Structure 1
Amino acid sequence: MSSKCSMLIETQPLDMWSWEVISSEFQQKMNLNLDEKPKELENPIIKNYLVNPCKVCSEDPCLNYHPGQKPRREILYLGGSRWSYSYKKCLRKKCENPKCPDAHSLEEILYHPKYYKTLKCNYILKDSICERFGKLCPYIHDLEKPQDRQVNPLKINQFDLATFKTTPCPIRKIHNRKICFYYHRPIEKRRNPIKYAYTTEACRKHVCTNLEMCNKCHTNNEYIYHPSVFRKNPCRLNEKCLVKEICPFYHIDRHDRVLDQCGEIEQLINRCEESSKQFSELRNKNSLFQKFLCSMCFGNKSQYILKCGHTKCNECQVSTLCSLCQKPAIPLIKILF
């Protein structure tokens, strides 16, 4: 095959679900020509923290990892608002896949470009430095502003459940509002479920005084796009659905529903393993307890061990011979519980 033909094969458009099996570096080269470099990677903490081993500490604070610290994978921008891994915790047990699309450590979550400096810190500042995390604090303090990602709204082409319909639409041109990722009226607005912990229960107050801190749903979008409800039921329109990319219901032909089910199955497997361990422990305790039940009635605790080896309680009357083996029923040991 000629080199020209091989180049055509290599530059074919990537399928959005095949990126896990292809090197992140290859995708980065393919997609960066279409997207601007995100400003999050200009932050050295997001880009380099715990990525490389420390040889000589020449900076304060040192961004490299030291003995005893778990390395953090380098975060790569793949284009199309996609990253080499997300800030969601990996559900696989002891996953060591370097190309896993989920986070493997707390640092990979806290210092992810989409998570860094989005939550408020619970510790105070001392000399303008966080008393708990120091200069590397991944949270917001009162003197700081939330991280501004400076995303061009016309270039957003990736659905994100956390940010969908959470900000007002900045697009001034005429566009299709049904598939727009921003809200245009207050009735469309929803809160980020990661920042605000609210349930799927509807708020009954006509005018809620808790506003964004309310722990209940305020709009229809907050309910149908809640993580505990989102894409748990099938879409009735099926193939006739015109908004499959942002549809809150799952379609049979969608790959993401299969991935969600894999995560749910893994969670069920982990729960079954824990239940199995608990059951085996209880069974061992029960078998140990059965050894000290009365051999005559199997209902009360044993008080005596007979010379023949059987046990008896105070309620069971035993004559000179054991009723089980017909040997002399002489109490040998008194059991004290």
Structure 2
Amino acid sequence: MDDYSTMPDYGITTTFDYAGLEPPVTDKNVKGFTSYFVPPLYSLVFIFGLLGNALVVLILIRYKKLKSMTDIYLLNLAISDLLFIISLPFWAHYATREWVFGDTMCRILSGVYCVGFYSGSFFIILLTIDRYLAIVHAVFALKARTITYGTLTSVVTWVVVLLASVPEFVFHRVQKANETDECTIHYPPENEKVWKQFLTLMKFILGLAIPTVIIIFCYLRIIMILIKGRNQRKQKAFKLIAVIMVVFFLFWMPYNIALLLRTFQDSFFSFNSENNIEGKVAFGVEVTRVIALVHCCINPVIYAFLGEKFRKYTSIFFQKCLLAPLCRLCPGRNYPILERSTSSYISSTEHEISIGL
């Protein structure tokens, strides 16, 4: 291990612990990746994610009017994505330089990252259960799938998410590493290893394992009902939520598996001075973390391709807010016609099955 005598040791020394959100990137490959690739990628994700999720929130509130439990959960899912998005400029700056935003922002943004992960996972579960009730227990769903219950379960979910994220707010701090300020997680020294393993397992179990079991059960039952009934409108509702769920796990599962491997790397790998397992695992964590953060701009794209109502309401929004002012300036164009067609456009969608977006 002589090659690493001048750099921090991931998870081996007790002076610093880099098992948190932002480990100091001392490996040459990791540093190059974060310095050159992360900032432009995060900038693009920030722009498209902010515009896309803001549009989702606008449509759900202004046009959909939050008339169903599905709308409530989709709104909260968009808010969860926005939590990630507002933190991206800070992480983009940190990828190329040291942490300059202070200890308080280090704790807040690291905690927000964890809140975004848990909330995204939990609201995926709620959306799955919502589809399960609507399709498998349609009669009971008439009473259970109300705005009141949707709001109540959302509030409870956010409380649970905040409680689960408390360690991230508490343990993250600004520390010196290689003469630079790093925003890292620092566990109590007396039981450092226990805390590290506990929090990693908690993320894996609460964020992936339990949701996977619930989702598999619900979707197996849903598929059985859809095969028997062959209801095309229910199949559309199933498809939208199913794609959201699958994409979430595709983006987030690699990162959580990488965290699990790094936390328990002594059990998974044998170390020597040649294989550089620590550097490879650190690089894997960094790459998968970037992939996970990109997810925050994906859901609006899914809605655009699979959400029929979303496309219709988006068209209405751009007609009324962007094209209408231009039409007033164009000779020969009659703005009231646009208003009448828009009104009929809205009324024609009211009879469709509610599939969220």
TM-score, normalising length: structure 2: 0.21
Which is richer in helix? Answer: 2
Of structures 1 and 2, the larger Rg is shown by 1
TM-score, normalising length: structure 1: 0.22
